[in-house]
Chains A and B, each alone.
Chain A
Amino acid sequence: MATTPTARPSSFSRNTSTSAASSASAPAPAPGSRIGAGGATFVSSGIPDLDRILGGGFLLGSLVMVMEDAEAPHHLLLLRNFMAQGVVHCQPLLFASPAEDPRAFLGTLPAPVAASKEERQRAPGPDHDEQEQGLRIAWQYKKYFGEQQASNAHNKDVKKEFGNNFDLRKSIERHMLSAQNVDCISIQKFSNLAPLRERCSSFLSKLTGNGVGLAGRIAIQSLCAPQCGYSDWDMVSFVRSLRAMLRYSKAVAIITFPSVILPPSFSKRWQHLADTLLSVRAIPDEDKDLAKLLTGYQDMVGLLHVHKVAQISSQVPVILEASTFSLKLQRRRSLVLERLNQAPVEGSSGTSYGTAGPCSGSLKGSSIDF
């Protein structure tokens, strides 16, 4: 195809140099956040399905709490995706956990999946130019991109999306974690929660001085874990202070906690303090009754229940059509949330009904036995 080799504003160059100019003119939201109805700003939870269920994502200024299943680590799936999403968008992140070395957890964060796989395949890097002479038509695009931008195109695509799918089999690239805005703190060593409160407070006050206006993320894992040994009133007081600090800042905090460890009245206090309340539960591997009741049971990793959804500046409660979802790994790598589908009721015999594929259109590659 005959084209003039001079660089001209084609649809391809819009992706690179002119994007900065166009976003400066319009009051666009900071990268990684989205404006929703009523002027509310959302950040992605790292799981696109969850963003959709919650009506946009996590509200800035809100506190998300996840009630853990004390016997299963499914809450870590939510935490990892939340933190990885923040890292991808270069949003400042503060991570607190009862582990001795919280930095080690960062190594388990998943890598984002690029949106368009074709572009990723077309731009492997400047080294491979000579070897790929055969694919002439594809490499013609490189003339307009320039070499530098071709390798960054993948990263830019990933960053521009509001919510990414994450590949749980691959770890996030090291260079993204070594950026200055990822901070970790272990909560096991302290005798009370004042140091953690201080850290959160300074983290949140630094956000306001942030010129670009990036949203901040705080992730606290297993706050009431027994090895920390904090008093009940101390902990609930910390949660209340964090919530108050969040209200005046542009950040989202997620706290996971094993609710069964707390005395029931304190567990209820924590639940009342949450703006968005979720709980995760594991599914036993070989539960025949559940297998008969739900379709696609074999692929389910756990259940997620949405108790409360944050609503700032409205008194109308958010009523969801369905509040319990199954956690599944799509193609064994990304986390998806699906509504539960009841399997067709079996007759007295007839195992063929029991293995019927789901009728809601969610294709997973499960085998259908005939």
Chain B
Amino acid sequence: MNHSPNLLDEALGLTGRGFGGGALSPGRVVLVEDCVETSGAFVLHHLVKRALSPDRGGTVIFIALSHPFSHYDRILRKLGCNLSMHREHNRFHFVDMLKVEFPNEIQKNAVEHGLVDLYSKILKAVEVSSSGDYSRAHISIVIDDLSILEIVAHGSVDHVLDFLHYCITLTSEQDCSLVILNHEDIYPEMEAPRLLSHLIYLADFVIKAEPLVTGIAADVHGQLTVLKKGTFNDSQYTDKASNFHFQVKENGVELFFPGTRC
């Protein structure tokens, strides 16, 4: 059952021919930004569904800091993806970080140890994926969401960045890609937003969900801007930016160019 790709898939290059079986994206790191007015969680749901779809045959390691498994299970079920079944077959690894705390009164290095623990859990899941039935499958690591990881780390940006760097090494050593959800309006414009600028630097794709300039509408929930990082190919610099409007539905998301909705 092959569903027709939508504008987001095109912008991410998921529809092109000739890239490896099951790759989430030819680039490796995808940053999804959103704000209070417009939530970008639907992008994550869409990408997870794409990664687990039968024609991709990939596996997903989901680091959940925001919602419990039942939440995603119910949402993805409406999108046509059975997470419980995938979890049983080790195609979907759910790392529940909802109640995990790094107590900083006891040890000085509690944050570090906590993040090291988390990384080792991810490594273990990667090893399980690479050695199991789906050993050739592409692995997608999804983090929902990074701002809560900052809270858990008591605001120590350095540790969070170190952790991210380790995850990014996985994208080159193993066949992984990384999808991170972060809230862009948390970082004020006055100060230098270290974490945000690092993330933008590291990302190959930046997907930004914003409200419409004209305000709230019932049938258009916001606008999505997809920025593809510029690359040099034989002294030719190519980058790409696309902007479209979206409407989120129970069974998917509808994307269309501004003004083409009738």
A residues neighboring B (CB under 8 Å): 38, 233, 236-237, 240-241, 244-245, 247-248, 264-265, 268-269, 271-272, 277, 307-308, 312-317, 319, 321, 323
Contact yes or no, B71 A316, CB < 8 A: no
Contacts A/B (CB < 8 Å), 21 sampled: A236-B151, A240-B148, A240-B151, A240-B152, A268-B185, A268-B186, A269-B151, A271-B36, A272-B36, A272-B183, A272-B186, A307-B36, A307-B37, A316-B248, A316-B249, A317-B38, A317-B39, A317-B248, A319-B218, A321-B218, A323-B216
Among A236, A245, A265, A312, chain B packs the most CB atoms within 10 A around the CB of: A265
Using CB atoms, name the residue of chain A closest to B102: A237
CA A307 to CA B211, docked complex, whole Å: 13
B residues neighboring A (CB under 8 Å): 36-39, 41-42, 45, 67-68, 70-71, 74-75, 78, 98-99, 101, 147-148, 151-152, 154-155, 183, 185-188, 216-218, 221, 248-250
A339 to chain B, nearest CB (A): 15
Using CB atoms, name the residue of chain A closest to B44: A315
Using CB atoms, name the residue of chain B closest to A308: B36
Contact yes or no, A268 B183, CB < 8 A: yes
- For the complex with contacts A38-B74, A313-B74, A314-B250, 12 further pairs of A-B residues with Cβ separation under 8 Å are A233-B154, A237-B152, A247-B67, A247-B68, A247-B98, A265-B188, A268-B183, A272-B36, A272-B183, A272-B186, A317-B39, A317-B221
Decide: A233 near B70, CB < 8 A? Known: A244-B98, A265-B188, A308-B36. no
Decide: A277 near B36, CB < 8 A? Known: A240-B152, A316-B249. yes
Using CB atoms, name the residue of chain B closest to A247: B68
CA A319 to CA B216, docked complex, whole Å: 8
Contact yes or no, B218 A315, CB < 8 A: no
Using CB atoms, name the residue of chain A closest to B34: A272
Q: Contacts of A308 on B, CB cut-off 8 Å?
A: 36
CA A307 to CA B36, docked complex, whole Å: 8
A99 to chain B, nearest CB (A): 27
Using CB atoms, name the residue of chain B closest to A61: B68
Contact yes or no, B151 A237, CB < 8 A: yes
Q: Contacts of B98 on A, CB cut-off 8 Å?
A: 244, 247
Decide: A315 near B147, CB < 8 A? Known: A237-B154, A247-B68, A277-B36. no
CA A277 to CA B36, docked complex, whole Å: 10
Decide: A315 near B99, CB < 8 A? Known: A240-B151, A268-B36. no
Q: Contacts of B221 on A, CB cut-off 8 Å?
A: 317, 319
Contact yes or no, A272 B248, CB < 8 A: no
Q: Contacts of A317 on B, CB cut-off 8 Å?
A: 38-39, 221, 248
